[in-house]
């Protein structure tokens, strides 16, 4: 698996704000926010359910990762997807940093990936 998720109810904007607040509790900020549904509508006139990608970053941990492996930025930030399902529920999906950073195959990076995953799991649990 390369990610983990939960399903919640609520309004999309409210859920996105809750995700951002929960991320802050573990030291993450949101570097990017990509409204995929709006972009697809604008670029190729496709209608789809709301789908937003949040690029989350914990600066201290990102710095450690870059120090350990300068090209690690190719695998950052930790993406969080917030998407509305056909039944009206909202899925919040988290990239599993342990799985993604594990491809680097260096012990210090693998340990860091496990630490970041633990923090994101705490964020998930706050949203449940």
Q: What is the pLDDT of residue 128?
A: 87
**Domain span holding position 79:** 3-127
CATH number at residue 102: 3.30.310.70
94, pLDDT greater than 90? yes
The pTM (predicted TM-score) of the whole model is: 0.95
Q: What is the pLDDT of residue 90?
A: 98
Q: What is the pLDDT of residue 1?
A: 87
Summarised one tens digit per residue, pLDDT across range 96-117 is 999 999 999 899 999 999 999 9
Q: Give me the sheet containing 29-35, strands edge to edge.
A: 3-8, 90-95, 78-84, 51-57, 29-35
- Specify the number of domains making up the chain: 1
């Amino acid at each position: 698996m390369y990610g983990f998720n939960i399903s919640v109810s609520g309004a999309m904007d409210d859920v996105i704000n809750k995700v951002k607040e929960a991320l802050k509790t573990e030291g993450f900020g949101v570097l990017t926010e990509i409204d995929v549904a709006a972009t697809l509508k604008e670029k190729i006139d496709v209608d789809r359910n709301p789908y937003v990608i949040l690029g989350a970053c914990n600066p201290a941990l990102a710095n450690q990762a870059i120090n350990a492996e300068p090209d690690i930025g190719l695998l950052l930030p930790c993406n969080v997807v917030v998407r509305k399902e056909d039944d009206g529920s909202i899925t919040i999906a988290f990239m599993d940093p342990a799985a993604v950073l594990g491809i680097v195959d260096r012990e210090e990076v693998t340990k860091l990936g496990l630490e970041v995953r633990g923090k994101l799991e705490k964020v998930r649990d706050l949203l449940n």
